[in-house]
Amino acid sequence: MAVHVSPCSSSSSSTLSTSSFDHYTSSYFCKQVNSIPYRIHSPKWGSKIFSRIHQRNNFDLNSSNGYPLNAVSWQNGSMEKPLTEEVPPSRPGEAHTTLSITVVGASGDLAKKKIFPALFALFYEDFLPENFVVFGYARTKMSDEELRNMISKTLTCRVDKRENCADKMEQFLKRCYYHSGQYNSEEHFGELDCKLKEKEGGSLSNRLFYLSIPPNIFVDVVKCASNNAASTSGWTRVIVEKPFGRNSESSRELTRSLKQYLSEDQIFRIDHYLGKELVENLSVLRFSNLVFEPLWSRNYIRNVQFIFSEDFGTEGRGGYFDNYGIIRDIMQNHLLQILALFAMETPVSLDAEDIRNEKVKVLRSMRPLQLEDVIVGQYKGHSKGGKSYSGYTDDPTVPKDSITPTFAAAALFINNARWDGVPFLMKAGKALHTKKTEIRVQFRHVPGNLYRRNFGTDLDKATNELVLRLQPDEAIYLKINNKVPGLGMRLDRSDLNLLYRARYSREIPDAYERLLLDAIEGERRLFIRSDELDAAWSLFSPLLRELEEKKIAPELYPHGSRGPIGAHYLAAKHNVRWGDLTGED
């Protein structure tokens, strides 16, 4: 990203090298610890030095790498200030910084459902910086007021008991604006730049663009935004939604095209599963508890299962979905990312590069995926209890003869010393009987089990299983064997259960909140680096090509069922039983 030409302001255009952007990451506050002073900007008082000790409340929450957040809470009475629609003016000689967030594709499903609500939640919880504006950008004609009306329908006050929710919503909506334009128009992005500048009021600006649009227009938008609406005084970052290509070649081409305008540091490839609370907890569980890490290998773990199921079909997204299918939609990204986090070696530190280095090593160590280790399915129409459920190809946006899989199961292997021979099973499906995402870790038998007689012949029932239920109803539980109380010796299976809603009263933030905050912070740990992406595609692309070239017909399964029977055969081939189908949970 090099040249910025401003068509609207008297301020001169400037040239910025890409490397200069992240220099401004910590412009609000210097990240330091303990009593080392923080630099806190208050529009009322200008830049002030506060001791962290005195501001402890402001740093109760950390960004996802455990560092204190740069965002500050203004709940502290002495710092309270009225929120105004416009960014407050700077005093002479004093520069304040504005964060401008532009949601490109603001009229779309994801923007309405997730992005605006997440931004509001961050504002509501006082995690957005003092001076911020939100712009929606799309082709749909809308006024600022219409945008506010549209997004107000999906904003929620997550913590019900808060009294000031309506006020907060109003304050947030006042910071939201809209600009209608084409995605490939330099002129329209120039107009957006004018509006951004006007709201930024001459302050330093950091600009975040969220590309919530179909992937075929990513590059147009990045080109126009970078040439016409990049920040000239602070950083510019772009969050890119998946899909990042359809295979290795298209993904590399996308990365190459984006890098004509952005540096890798400016690209935040989002995989919202990495922002989920239980995925965050996976590493904490493993690396901060002595009882788990020593067991985390082929010596004790029999198999690992990553299970994603949704109890609804592709409703409304059939057009998109048919071009991608479940393997690209869920497995190549969400499930594979979790697998990499699960299986990686201990990183040197919690820094983004250290973690991503370890994840890449896992991905590169994976055995090429064979067609015989994969089964695909597609849901068909079904009637139950007088109600009928449509099949995938009943969707008018899906070709009647589509063979796009809406279900897939796969057995993967990691060819390294830790995991040699351990099956990592994945299963992902739409229109199944339940909505659930889980990681299940099945442990080996206890050698020479003294109590084997008490379990009968089915020794599978005697093994431990650790389950991380990502959603719904987040939980971590460990299936153990215990004695039934009484004079006899009868064994039972029980759960040691950490059920989040029972343990914590605090509501769990949505993944998009965490990820947006991290992007604002410049924290890249939960975003996908280009070499990770490349390794992920290298694993799945040959398989996808083979499935498509051989036109492998998916096994049909009824909408609302447990999926194709082939998934059981695949698991059985590797001496595994799907943990979610044992009837124990």
Ligand X SMILES: NC(=O)C1=CN([C@@H]2O[C@H](COP(=O)(O)OP(=O)(O)OC[C@H]3O[C@@H](n4cnc5c(N)ncnc54)[C@H](OP(=O)(O)O)[C@@H]3O)[C@@H](O)[C@H]2O)C=CC1
Residues contributing to the site for ligand LXAUTJHC (CB under 6 A): 272, 310, 329, 437
| 215 near ligand X, judged by CB under 6 A | yes
136-165 residues in contact with ligand X (CB under 6 A) are 138-140
| 108 near ligand X, judged by CB under 6 A | yes
Partner touching 325 among ligand LXAUTJHC, ligand X, none, CB below 5 to 8 Å by kind: none
Provide the 3-class DSSP secondary structure of residue 533: helix
CB 40 within 8 A of CB 29: yes
Kindly report the length of the chain. Answer: 585
Can you list the alpha helix ranges (DSSP code H) found in 433-508? 452-455, 500-503
| 510 near ligand X, judged by CB under 6 A | no
* Sequence-distant (≥ 6) Cβ neighbours of residue 127 within 8 angstroms: 61, 69, 71, 73, 517
| 251 near ligand X, judged by CB under 6 A | no
- Under DSSP, the state recorded for 578 is -
Candidate residues 110, 157, 491, 498; the one interacting with ligand X per rule CB under 6 A: 110
| 105 near ligand X, judged by CB under 6 A | yes
Partner touching 532 among ligand X, ligand LXAUTJHC, none, CB below 5 to 8 Å by kind: none
Which residue's CB comes closest to ligand X?
108
List the beta bridge partners of residue 475.
Answer: 469, 499
Six-digit token pair at 411? Answer: 């057995």
Q: How many CB atoms lie within 10 A of CB 449?
A: 14
Residue placing its CB nearer to ligand LXAUTJHC in the complex, 130 or 310? 310
Count of residues binding ligand X (CB under 6 A)? 19
310-329 residues in contact with ligand X (CB under 6 A) are 320
Measured from the CB of residue 478, what is the shortest distance to ligand X in angstroms? 31
Residue placing its CB nearer to ligand LXAUTJHC in the complex, 130 or 241? 241
Partner touching 329 among ligand X, ligand LXAUTJHC, none, CB below 5 to 8 Å by kind: ligand LXAUTJHC
Q: Nearest 10 degrees: CA dihedral of 403, 407, 409, 414?
A: 90
The position carrying tokens 């330099």 is 186
Provide the 3-class DSSP secondary structure of residue 30: coil
Residue placing its CB nearer to ligand LXAUTJHC in the complex, 491 or 508? 508
Told to judge if 334 belongs to the known catalytic residues of this protein, a careful annotator would answer yes
CB 347 within 8 A of CB 321: no
Measured from the CB of residue 493, what is the shortest distance to ligand X in angstroms? 37
| Cα–Cα dist 150/19, whole Å | 37
Measured from the CB of residue 217, what is the shortest distance to ligand LXAUTJHC in angstroms? 17
* Sequence-distant (≥ 6) Cβ neighbours of residue 485 within 8 angstroms: none
Provide the 3-class DSSP secondary structure of residue 471: strand
Q: How many CB atoms lie within 10 A of CB 140?
A: 15
Provide the 3-class DSSP secondary structure of residue 232: coil
Residue placing its CB nearer to ligand LXAUTJHC in the complex, 164 or 216? 216
CB 231 within 8 A of CB 202: no
When computed from its CA atoms, the radius of gyration of the chain, rounded to whole angstroms, is 26
Candidate residues 179, 195, 237, 242; the one interacting with ligand X per rule CB under 6 A: 242
79 residue type, one letter: M
Measured from the CB of residue 110, what is the shortest distance to ligand X in angstroms? 3
Which position among 4, 272, 334, 559 bears the catalytic label?
A: 334
Measured from the CB of residue 310, what is the shortest distance to ligand LXAUTJHC in angstroms? 6
Q: Which residues are catalytic?
A: 334
Binding residues for ligand X, rule: CB under 6 A, are 105, 107-111, 138-140, 183, 212-215, 217, 241-243, 320
